[in-house]
Amino acid sequence: MKIWVINGPNINLLGQRETEIYGHKTYRDLIDYIEEEAYSLDIDVECFQSNHEGILIDWIHAGIGKVDGLIINAGGYTHTSIALMDAVKGSGITTVEVHISNPKEREGFRKISYLSMVASKTIEGKGFEGYKEALQWLRGNRDQEKR
């Protein structure tokens, strides 16, 4: 099973940015965590991060026919990007939207998620554990399909 994890703007600043919300663990810590969890689930995982919307869209398109699932934390684009929503929808790839914090407990504009309108599942407010839950859900979903 192959899964791509796509992280959007400012996720690279984990450990530096708004530590009261995101904690002190770094982006490298997140990647190490994801890779360890994927290994334990026998999942081949690749992680990407960009601050540029078009690059995120290009990665989603590049995954068509190559991956079994996507995990995406689109950062601020979650609340603004219809283009990312359309890319996920058009890709046909089973997608889990993940947020380290809980956007519904933050500023009002963060309550809208265009991605949640097309993602198969949304996980919010569980920190790094949300990525583990997403990997487990995709693994379980794939195993269900094989039956």
Verify whether residue 77 is a known catalytic residue: no
How many alpha carbons fall within 13 Å on the CB side of residue 75?
18
Amino acid at 61: H
What phi-psi label fits residue 97: left (phi over 0), alpha (psi between -120 and 50 degrees) or beta?
A: beta
Task: Choose the catalytic residue: 39, 61, 99, 114.
Answer: 99
Verify whether residue 22 is a known catalytic residue: yes
Task: Choose the catalytic residue: 22, 77, 114, 131.
Answer: 22
| 73: three-class secondary structure by DSSP | strand
Angle at which helices 27-40 and 129-146 cross, to 10°: 30
Q: Please identify every residue annotated as catalytic.
A: 22, 99
